[in-house]
Chains A and B, each alone.
Chain A
Amino acid sequence: MISAALVMLMVPAVGLFYGGMVRKKNVISTIMLSFAILALISIQWVLYGYSLAFGPDRGGIIGGLEWAGLLNVGQEPSSIYATSIPHFTFMIFQAMFAVIAVALITGAFVERIKFSAFLLFSLLWATFVYDPIAHWVWGAGGWLAKLGALDFAGGTVVHISSGVSALAFVLVIGARKGFGKVPMESHDVPMAVIGAVLLWFGWFGFNAGSALAANGVAASAFVVTNTAAAAAALTWMVLSWINRKPSVLGIATGAIAGLAAITPASGFVSPLAAIAIGVGAGIICYSALLLKAKLGIDESLDVWGVHGMGGTWGTIAIGIFASTLVNTAGSNGLIYGNPSQLVVQTVAVAVVWVYSFVVTFALAKILDATIGLRVGAEEEEVGLDISQHGERAYS
């Protein structure tokens, strides 16, 4: 339950992280997106989301609705999931994962999204993208789980799904007005750094909590989480230093990249492997940002570059570094003489990439053609704080 509360803190932390990086006229809007998601998806999860993701299996594809409204979910431990803790505890912990996944995507379309379209999209995305993928990977009977794909705390389910969806979404909504012509300066870097630090803090609940018990695996996950974040932060700092100067937004972004990468692997790898994963995450995500800049895509706050690519690297890294010495419920990776795990991990990555991209692209296209995804040009220029919410952050 404490872990669930820690993950809950990550949701407004995403709001602060993103809010600091947007322009002054859009900070309320950006923070509001995360807050609204916390409220909306919490309800969705109780009503039917949890049941779709974790309810009794239907052909490995989706959960049945037997647990809708949390019917048949109670204070007693579940016989299938986390059998040592109350079923409610498992359910609410998972609720926060669903919330954070949707909140992460908001970084892609800040400063131009129409609020009503955003709410509808979030609800549809949670229902048609997150819930099925969560079932495939974590649900009892899910087909990727049966295949042997490992994802300790959400590299595929949370980070690849949200990161790749972010990319698909911006290909539909398009760039911010003036993108590439006028500087889109972060209006409050300290706010972004506070957000990043709170994310790092909450991430201990995210990863260590995914052991679903206060045991050795939880402790190991805690250690590798911190180690990978630190390694990636240092890597990014050095990269920014080589190019210009050691950047604080850079070191913070690096930490998030490292956290995203270690997420799927956190229950299966050793601390030294975590350093390798962290350094890899720093280099891969930094390169992804450079590539994105070269392509001129306005995926505004790098959800794809940091979470999508970080999650991809981490999920594949399981196939390289995983060891049953760390977790007997896990598997051995390439360097422990089991190349087949690498194949399974790559398949899981490919499946989640394709599914997230295709479904999100379709959802965004449909919404764009019906209610419209963007605010009007004038509203965008004035800023979403005033045009969408009738408030301003600083008077």
Chain B
Amino acid sequence: MKKIEAIIREEKFGEVKDALEKIGVVGLNISEVKGRGRQKGIRLQWRATSYVVDMLPKVKLNAVVRDEDAERAIDAIVKSAKTGRNSGDGMIFIMPVEEVVRVRTGERGKDAI
């Protein structure tokens, strides 16, 4: 089992969610985060001057999938979250998951996903 942690643009979340649902990945959770990557920051204005905001709001999406589904999920996220702009589309991190337990039934492992 793999945990997929994807940092994506806020406005892309809807499309990413739909793309994942199409390949059968329904369970997920998100949090609103701030961060920076190569994009570094954007310049905003304040009266006659301006300043740089380098921690930009993003959505962090967490989903745990079966090993065999991982590549398809990654593919779905990349395709749906990509904008073609120079920077700021985000990152995906993949981690192994030791165990999964469904609270309601006590099921474990792949069956619990």
Contact = CB atoms under 8 A, between A and B. Distances in A.
Interface of A: 183-186, 239-240, 243-245, 247, 249-250, 253, 286, 289-290, 293, 302
Contacts of A245: 45
Interface stretch (B6-14, B27-35, B48-56, B74-82): B48-56
A185 B51 contact: yes
B53 A253 contact: no
A286 B49 CA distance: 9
Given A244-B43, A289-B48, A293-B48, 20 more contacts: A183-B52, A184-B51, A185-B44, A185-B46, A185-B53, A186-B46, A239-B48, A240-B45, A244-B45, A245-B45, A247-B45, A249-B45, A249-B47, A250-B47, A250-B48, A286-B48, A289-B47, A289-B49, A290-B49, A293-B49
A183 B51 contact: yes
B46 A244 contact: no
Interface in B38-74: 43-53
A239 B48 CA distance: 8
Chain B CB count within 10 A is highest, among A183, A184, A249, for: A183
Chain A CB count within 10 A is highest, among B43, B46, B47, B50, for: B47
Interface in B76-91: none
B46 A249 contact: yes
Contact of B53 (A183, A244, A247): A183
Contact of B48 (A184, A185, A290): A290
A149 B96 CA distance: 80
The 4 closest A-B pairs by CB, nearest first: A289-B48, A183-B51, A293-B49, A244-B45
Contacts of B52: 183
A183 to B, nearest CB: 4
Contact of A253 (B44, B47, B51): B47
Chain B CB count within 10 A is highest, among A247, A286, A302, for: A247
A84 to B, nearest CB: 42
A123 to B, nearest CB: 30
B97 to A, nearest CB: 36
B49 to A, nearest CB: 5
B45 to A, nearest CB: 5
Contacts of B47: 247, 249-250, 253, 289, 302
Nearest to A184: B51
11 contacts: A183-B51, A183-B52, A185-B51, A239-B48, A247-B47, A249-B45, A249-B46, A253-B47, A286-B48, A289-B48, A293-B49
Contacts of A240: 45, 48
Contacts of A185: 44, 46, 51, 53
Contacts of A239: 48
A280 to B, nearest CB: 16
Contacts of B43: 244
A271 B46 CA distance: 30
Nearest to A246: B45
B25 to A, nearest CB: 36
A249 to B, nearest CB: 6
A175 B91 CA distance: 39
Nearest to B49: A293
A331 to B, nearest CB: 34
A243 B45 contact: yes
Contact of B50 (A186, A244, A253, A286): A244
Contacts of B51: 183-185
Contacts of B46: 185-186, 249
B49 A250 contact: no
A184 B46 CA distance: 10
Chain A CB count within 10 A is highest, among B45, B46, B49, for: B46
A185 B44 CA distance: 9
Contacts of A183: 51-53
Contacts of A293: 48-49
A293 B49 CA distance: 7
A291 to B, nearest CB: 9
